[in-house]
Amino acid sequence: MLELSLKGSPRYWGWLFFLAILIGAGFLTYLYQFQVGLGITGMSRDVSWGLYIGQFTFLVGVAASAVTIVLPYYLHNYKKYGRIAVIGEFLAVSSILMCILFIFVDLGQPTRILNVILHPTPSSIMFYDMIVLNVYLILNLLCGWVILMSEKKGAPPPSWIKPFLYIAILWAPSIHIVTAFLYQGLPGRDYWMTAIMAAKFLSSAFASGPSLLVILSMLIRKFTNFDPGKEAIQTLAKTSAYFLVVTILFYLFEVFTAFYSGISSHQYPIIYLFKGLDGYSKLVPVMSICILLAVIGALILVTPPLRKWEVTLTIGAASTFLCMWLEKGITLVVGGFIPNPFGSVFEYWPTLPETIITIGVWALGFFVLTILYKIASSVKEKAIFDKYGEKQIKA
């Protein structure tokens, strides 16, 4: 099936070429980081994780969100998702790939990465994260590929794939729960040490993933002859809407707990993010934009006429995705480190090389995603659909 990715329009090749340039720039900058050390980033003794780990955390959520398509389709037989199940699975594949790369570029001694396997440490959550992420990558690649392959042949999917589909559904939340456990089990980091972290991770994932899928589906419809279906897009938008509202609520629960209890150490990171602390307020604009986007996203996606009109739908989906990205991709990680264990503030802001490397990894993810979607849309364009947009499987 890979050969399908080799035939494309000039626009397709142009896009891949553009991504390749970004990947190249990221790679060269990474070589510089490899040579000099992580000192080229904005990370510090106090804020020892930054943009890289933030992207990793955010993208685990995007990957996990494939379950919002796969579960209704395979467990509840929601036929509208039949056409886009593979779109979700392939998004998970490229997201996990980016996750692994973001962990890799964040390591001080990347050549020693196999130590995680050579010296397996079950007390470390990182150990489980490595397992769940890799298994999830394989599961999604397998399920997506096999089902697409049978679609290409015009045959029903082989029955042996079924158990894997169900395992993938059960597996999806695990990757994000384990990722939340990386944070919520650390003593002395009050912003993270909350039982609602895993729940909030899942809800924000199921807001950001479907909102991205809405945008991707519309792009696929625009640039290929394959139509993911209006109703599928609308259902995705609804999923995103309700999980966005749940995420906002979860955040407010956190704010209530911190401020009603009066425990100052729980309040400081929140004050830092929303108002600034001791005169330091670099992330306040980021958080303000985040709030604005949350309000726009929620208003549009929850209101039926605005959700149905595709112009506003695009704005709503983009707002939701960006809002979740700012929250999880930047402020969540940095906020956890501020103030430091001695109560003082040392701020973080990503440097230019760090940003170029980050863009490079994203570009690589989208490169893989483009190729996978190209294959999927080529297969889907040829498949026969009935007037309701459901696939007819030849007996």
Partner 1 sequence: MSNIDRRDFLKILGVGAIVGIWGGSFFEIVNKRELEASIGSYKKAPEALQAKKWAMVIDIKKLNKKIINDCIEICHSIHNVPTIANPKEEIKWIWEEKFKNVFPEIKDQYLSYELMEMPVLVLCNHCDNPPCVRVCPTKATFKRKDGIVMMDMHRCIGCRFCMAGCPYGARSFNWRDPRQYIKNENKEFPFRMKGVVEKCTFCYERLARGLPPACVEVSQGAIVFGDIENPESAVRKILSTNLAIRRKPKLGTNPSVYYLL
Stretch that binds partner 1, among 64-72, 222-230, 278-286, 341-349 (CB under 8 A): 341-349
> Which of 24, 32, 115, 255 touches partner 1 by CB under 8 A?
115
Residues 6 or more apart whose CB falls under 8 angstroms from that of 257 comprise 194, 266
- Is 257 or 314 the residue whose CB approaches partner 1 more closely? 257
CB nearer to partner 1: give 17 or 346. 346
Q: Find, among 330, 292, 194, the residue nearest to 250 by Cα.
A: 194
**Per rule CB under 8 A, is residue 305 in the interface with partner 1?**
no
Which two three-digit tokens encode residue 379?
């297969």
User: Hey, what are 269's tokens?
Assistant: 């990171």
- Residue 334: CB minimum distance to partner 1, A: 12
Does residue number 174 form part of the binding site for partner 1 (CB under 8 A)? Answer: no
Nearest distance from C-beta of residue 138 to partner 1, angstroms: 14
How many helices and strands in the chain, by DSSP H and E?
15, 0
Contact 151, 7 (CB under 8 A): no
Closer residue to partner 1 in complex, CB, 145/206: 145
The whole-angstrom separation of Cα 318 and Cα 320 is: 5
Q: Judged by CB under 8 A, which of 19, 23, 49, 202 binds partner 1?
A: 49
Pick the closer one to partner 1 by CB: 313 or 333. Answer: 333
By C-beta, is 305 or 341 nearer to partner 1?
341
Query: Three-state SS for 277?
Result: strand
182 is a contact residue toward partner 1 (CB under 8 A): yes
Q: Chain centroid to CA 312: how far?
A: 22
Which residues have a Cβ under 8 Å from the Cβ of 70 and sit 6 or more positions away? 81, 85, 88, 89, 143, 165, 168, 169, 172
Shortest spacing between CB 270 and partner 1, in angstroms:
17
**What letter represents residue 345's amino acid?**
V
CA distance 127 to 135: 13
130 binds partner 1 (CB under 8 A): yes
Burial class (CB in 10 A: 0-12, 13-18, 19+), 131: middle
Using CB under 8 A, which residues numbered 77 to 96 contact partner 1?
none
46 sits near partner 1 (criterion: CB under 8 A): yes
Residues 325, 317: Cα–Cα separation, whole Å: 12
Of 127, 164, 253, 349, which lies in the binding site for partner 1, with binding defined by CB under 8 A?
127
- What is the smallest separation between the CB atom of 39 and partner 1, expressed in angstroms? 4
Pattern of binders to partner 1 over 352-371, x per CB under 8 A? --------------------
DSSP symbols for 279-304: TB-TTHHHHHHHHHHHHHHHHHHHSH
Options 121-129, 151-159, 223-231, 318-326: segment touching partner 1 (CB under 8 A): 121-129
Q: Of 14, 154, 158, 343, which lies in the binding site for partner 1, with binding defined by CB under 8 A?
A: 343
Work out which of 113, 196, 246, 302 binds partner 1, going by CB under 8 A: 113
User: Cα-atom radius of gyration of the chain, to the nearest Å?
Assistant: 21
Is-contact 355 115, C-beta < 8 A? no
Task: Write down the residue that tokens 């990474």 correspond to.
Answer: 30
For 228, the 3-state DSSP assignment is coil
Q: Does 303 bind partner 1 (CB under 8 A)?
A: no
119 binds partner 1 (CB under 8 A): yes
Residues that bind partner 1 (CB under 8 A): 36-39, 43-46, 48-49, 103, 106-110, 112-119, 121, 123-127, 130, 182, 185-189, 265, 336-337, 340-344, 346
